[in-house]
Amino acid sequence: QVQLVESGGGLVQPGGSLRLSCAASGSTFTINAMGWYLQAPGKERELVASITDSTTNYADSVRGRFTISRDNTKNTVYLQMNSLKPEDTAVYYCKTIATVRGYTFQYWGQGTQVTVSS
């Protein structure tokens, strides 16, 4: 099994920055991909950014403002969020696709609230 623990959310003014972290732990596993998703009130969960060994991908709404990165030695993925806008307000969820004992599954973090407001 893989557990994901998120941190870094909070309240920030428009134009400010936050850095979200998501650390994976558990039994021996291999991470195939990691990503960040957001879910605004009353809306569907949607992809913000994802990262594999060789590629990164961003939603159009955050491209140029957010940066996803990964520290393989710590099994941690980060989301640097700059130039935040009120419409970025949402719960942000970390997801990983990982292989454990030869089986590949997706795992979700608990979510962290990001609120952008003046």
pLDDT of residue 17 exceeding 90, the answer is yes
State the Cα–Cα distance between residues 98 and 95, nearest whole angstrom. Answer: 10
Per-residue pLDDT, averaged over 19-32, amounts to: 93
In the chain, the percentage of residues whose pLDDT exceeds 70 is: 100
Beta pairing, strands 10-12 & 112-116 = parallel
State the Cα–Cα distance between residues 59 and 75, nearest whole angstrom. Answer: 23
In this predicted structure, what is the pLDDT of residue 53? Answer: 87
DSSP summary character for residue 43: S
In the chain, the percentage of residues whose pLDDT exceeds 90 is: 87
pLDDT of residue 27 exceeding 90, the answer is no
In this predicted structure, what is the pLDDT of residue 70? Answer: 94
**pLDDT tens per residue, range 76-116:** 999 999 999 999 999 999 999 999 999 999 999 999 999 99
